[in-house]
Amino acid sequence: MSPVVFSTGLGTAIPLHPDLGEVIGFQLNGLIVVGAALGLIWGMLELLGAVFRRISAAEAAAAAAKLASAPAVAPAPAVAAPSPAPAPAAPGTIPETDLVLIAAAVHATFGPSARIIALSPRPEARDWAVEGRRAIFATHKVR
């Protein structure tokens, strides 16, 4: 009895029980198809990225030019005394507001039984906090 052969939309045919050559050909075709699809998307993204980077650069340049040409405005007198800002933390220490936030986060995540034993400041982590905020704001509609 001859094996059942399926026709394919990609010009190849593969039987129900293919031999080694047929399997390898089928695999290569599959990889080419996946590569072609993702390659096309890659090309599209590079094109889109180039266009949008140019647009954002032009917008930034226009905004900078507008700022430079705007007349200098004298600062208005303060109407009310601003609330006192928290005292800046000494170098190498963690600001008080950060401590409160960290304690609240630990309490919310691990519960009341958790205790903070030690905290050590890591300057490079600040950039990633900014990056995280940026990513969140970029992906959510903030009202």
Partner 1 sequence: MLSGLLDFYQTTGFSQITLGMLSMWVVVGVLLWFAVAKKFEPLLLVPIAFGALVANLPTRGVITHTETAEAVFTIEAVPVHDTSSSAPHTHQQLRVEKVEGGLYDFISQGVKLELFPPLIFLGVGALTDFGPLIALPRTILLGAAAQVGLFLTFFGATLLGFTSKQAAAIGIIGGADGPTAIFISNKLAPELLGAVAVAAYSYMALVPLIQPPIMRALTTEKERRIRMSSLRKVSRLEKLLFALGVTVVCILLVPDAAALIAMLMLGNFLRECGVTERLVKSAQNEIINVLTIFLGTSVGLTMRAENFLAPATLKIIVLGVVAFGCSTAAGVIAAKIMNKLSPRTPINPLIGAAGVSAVPMAARVAHSEGQRADPGNYLLMPAMGPNVAGVIGTAVAAGYFISSLAGR
Q: Which residues bind partner 1 (CB under 8 A)?
A: 4, 6-10, 12, 14-18, 23-24, 26-27, 29-31, 33-42, 44-46, 48-49, 52-53, 56, 122, 124-125, 127-128, 131, 134-135, 138-139, 141
Shortest distance (Å) from residue 40 CB to partner 1? 5
Closer to partner 1 by Cβ: residue 17 or 85:
17
Of 64 and 136, which has the nearer Cβ to partner 1? 136
- With left for phi above 0 and alpha for psi between -120 and 50, is residue 92 left, alpha or beta? left
CB of 141 to partner 1, least distance (A): 5
Smallest distance, partner 1 to C-beta of residue 69, A:
26
Number of Cβ within a 10 Å radius of residue 23:
11
Least Å distance, CB 92 to partner 1, is 18
Q: Which is nearer to partner 1, 10 or 119 (CB)?
A: 10
Asked whether the beta carbons of 142 and 133 are under 8 A apart, the reply is no
Helix (H) or strand (E) holding 5: strand 5-6
Cβ closer to partner 1: 38 or 64?
38
Q: Which residues contact 89 (CB under 8 A, 6 or more apart)?
A: 95, 96, 98
Contacts of 96 by beta carbon, 8 Å cutoff, 6+ apart: 86, 87, 89
Cα–Cα dist 114/5, whole Å: 64
Residue closer to partner 1 by CB (options 47, 100) is: 47
Smallest gap from Cβ 25 to partner 1, in A, equals: 11
